[in-house]
Amino acid sequence: MRLITTIEEMREVVHDLKKSGKTIGFVPTMGYLHAGHATPIDRARTENDVVVVSIFVNPLQFGPQEDYASYPRDLERDSAICQEHGVDFVFAPSSNVMYPKGTVDVFVDVRRLDQNLCGRFRPGHFRGVLTVVMKLFNIVQPDRAYFGMKDIQQLRIIEEMVNDLNWPVQIVAVPTVREDSGLAMSSRNTYLSEEERKTATAIYQSLQMARQLIEAGERDASAICDKCIEFLERVGLRVQYFQVVDYDSLQLLRTVSGKVIVGVAAFVGKARLIDNVVLEVS
Ligand code: AMP
């Protein structure tokens, strides 16, 4: 496995790989790797000749009050995990390498699809995500790129980006990896105390509750959300949103029907955690 920190070196590698006809599978991450990252890496390993993992905490996607400075980082540990999982190249540029001007003057932006879920509460977040993902795609030129369903709005918006901008990459969706308790794996789970980690299991329980209400015939989205929010608040979580949106348009639904995303963001102590389930409702 080779660790690459400059764009020039990554480009040279990609140039040689393309020349020899190798397919490239790409897993973009912000590092502090866990089983939720290992699953897309393993999948990329089975589907491509070469696997590239990027590790970059992207300042452009964090709001001023968010956790950019305190986001957990450990490149040595991440490299060891990548090596174990058969990764060929870890691309870990510094912020100066990615943003030599400190920022960029040209962005990739999104409309409509960022009106709900996280986009509503994190202005500029998806613009930062899309801009860095497009930069990474330009550098790594993957045949396939792997994204987790844990960040479903990110996945959907990236699918639309490559579609709208005709970028020749196949986006592969990877199901959410959970702990035995149901808690979705996340680098931000390191912020949780033992007690908070138990409380955080309510997030997935609330999604299960929504699923059961729908299975029992409830179709009124606000009735479902109200019940789930009440449950989360009762166990001590501060809910940022609990929403039911259409899978394709990401618009809020009044009546639950078709392919839908039930999404939640909640604070457990200082950690903001997100989770979702995708349901097909007849
Ligand atoms: P991050 O490092 O949190 O930006 O995540 C990098 C990629 O791994 C994104 O595509 C995430 O959606 C995905 N990912 C993170 N956690 C999980 C998880 N628990 N299950 C599945 N995919 C995940």
Considering 174, 200, 223, which residue would you say is the last residue of a domain?
174
146 CA → ligand 1 middle, Å: 9
Q: Give the closest residue to 13 by CA, choosing from 145, 146, 3, 135.
A: 3
275 CA → ligand 1 middle, Å: 11
- Any atom of ligand 1 within 6 Å of the Cβ of 185: yes
Q: What pLDDT was estimated at residue 221? A: 98
3-class state of residue 249 by DSSP: coil
Calpha distance 4→133 (Å, rounded): 17
Residue nearest to atom 16 of ligand 1 (CA): 36
Is 197 found in the same domain as 82? no
Calpha distance 138→7 (Å, rounded): 10
Residue among 37, 55, 153, 180 to mutate when testing ligand 1 (max atoms within 8 A of CB): 37
Catalytic residues, by residue number, are 37
Q: What pLDDT was estimated at residue 228? A: 98
Residue nearest to atom 10 of ligand 1 (CA): 147
- Any atom of ligand 1 within 6 Å of the Cβ of 37: yes
Helix (H) or strand (E) holding 275: strand 271-281
Is 170 found in the same domain as 92? yes
Q: Provide the β-strand partners of residue 89.
A: 2, 52
Q: What pLDDT was estimated at residue 248? A: 98
Low-confidence ranges of the chain (pLDDT < 50): none
Range of the domain at 147: 2-174
Tell me, yes or no, whether 181 lies in a domain.
no
Is 210 found in the same domain as 134? no
- Any atom of ligand 1 within 6 Å of the Cβ of 128: no
Q: Give the closest residue to 78 by CA, choosing from 54, 50, 45, 47.
A: 54
Tell me, yes or no, whether 179 lies in a domain.
no
Q: What pLDDT was estimated at residue 158? A: 98
Q: What pLDDT was estimated at residue 193? A: 97
- Any atom of ligand 1 within 6 Å of the Cβ of 151: yes
147 CA → ligand 1 middle, Å: 7
Is 133 found in the same domain as 42? yes
Total domains in the chain come to 2
Q: Which atom of ligand 1 is nearest to the CA of 31?
A: 2
**Concatenated DSSP letters of 30-79:** -SS--HHHHHHHHHHHHH-SEEEEEE---GGGS-TTSSTTTS---HHHHH
Alpha helices in the chain (DSSP H): 7-19, 35-47, 75-84, 95-98, 117-121, 125-140, 152-164, 194-215, 221-234
Would the pTM of this model clear 0.95, i.e. be above it? yes
Helix (H) or strand (E) holding 240: strand 238-246
| Count of residues in the chain | 282
- Read off the pLDDT of residues 4-56 as tens digits, 9 standing for 90 and up: 999 999 999 999 999 999 999 999 999 999 999 999 999 999 999 999 999 99
Is 110 found in the same domain as 217? no
Q: What pLDDT was estimated at residue 236? A: 96
The one-character DSSP state at 253 is -
Walk across the sheet containing 258-268 and list its strands. 238-246, 258-268, 271-281
Residue nearest to atom 17 of ligand 1 (CA): 36
Tell me, yes or no, whether 58 lies in a domain.
yes
Q: What pLDDT was estimated at residue 64? A: 94
Helix (H) or strand (E) holding 89: strand 89-91
What is the C-alpha radius of gyration for the chain, rounded to an integer number of angstroms?
Answer: 19
- Any atom of ligand 1 within 6 Å of the Cβ of 150: yes
Q: What pLDDT was estimated at residue 48? A: 98
Is 202 found in the same domain as 132? no
Residue nearest to atom 22 of ligand 1 (CA): 148
- Any atom of ligand 1 within 6 Å of the Cβ of 148: yes
Q: What pLDDT was estimated at residue 227? A: 98
- Any atom of ligand 1 within 6 Å of the Cβ of 53: no
Calpha distance 80→249 (Å, rounded): 39
CATH of the domain at 113: 3.40.50.620
